[in-house]
Amino acid sequence: MTYRFWCGECGFKTPWGTESEAERGHTDHYATRHAGLRPGGQVETAAKAPAAEGASWVGCTMVAVLGLLFLIIVSACGR
């Protein structure tokens, strides 16, 4: 299980990690950005860290580019 804490004062989110890592990041954020306030916000859990946003289109683009390069090489060798 992975965890991510959301700040109750601003849009800050900790990176996905173990519960203790995420909680430490959350309390460190409050100590530096919201000194004097009690940490608040939400905790988000996931079975495992989700893939980075946008990672799926990057993979598809790479496959498409490699496919086009392969077709160019094959057509150039056939002449």
Type and span of the H or E element at 72: helix 55-77
Distance from C-alpha of 52 to C-alpha of 7, rounded to nearest angstrom: 20
Summarised one tens digit per residue, pLDDT across range 8-61 is: 999 999 999 999 999 999 999 999 999 999 999 999 999 876 665 555 666 788
Q: What's the whole-model pTM score?
A: 0.59
Contact 16, 4 (CB under 8 A): yes
Task: Give the pLDDT confidence score for residue 54 in this predicted structure.
Answer: 55
Task: Give the pLDDT confidence score for residue 74 in this predicted structure.
Answer: 87
Q: Residues 56-73: what's their mean pLDDT?
A: 83
Long-range pairs, 26-34, Cβ under 8 A, ≥24: 33/7, 33/9, 34/7, 34/9, 34/10
Task: Give the pLDDT confidence score for residue 61 in this predicted structure.
Answer: 83
Contact 4, 22 (CB under 8 A): yes
Task: Give the pLDDT confidence score for residue 41 in this predicted structure.
Answer: 95
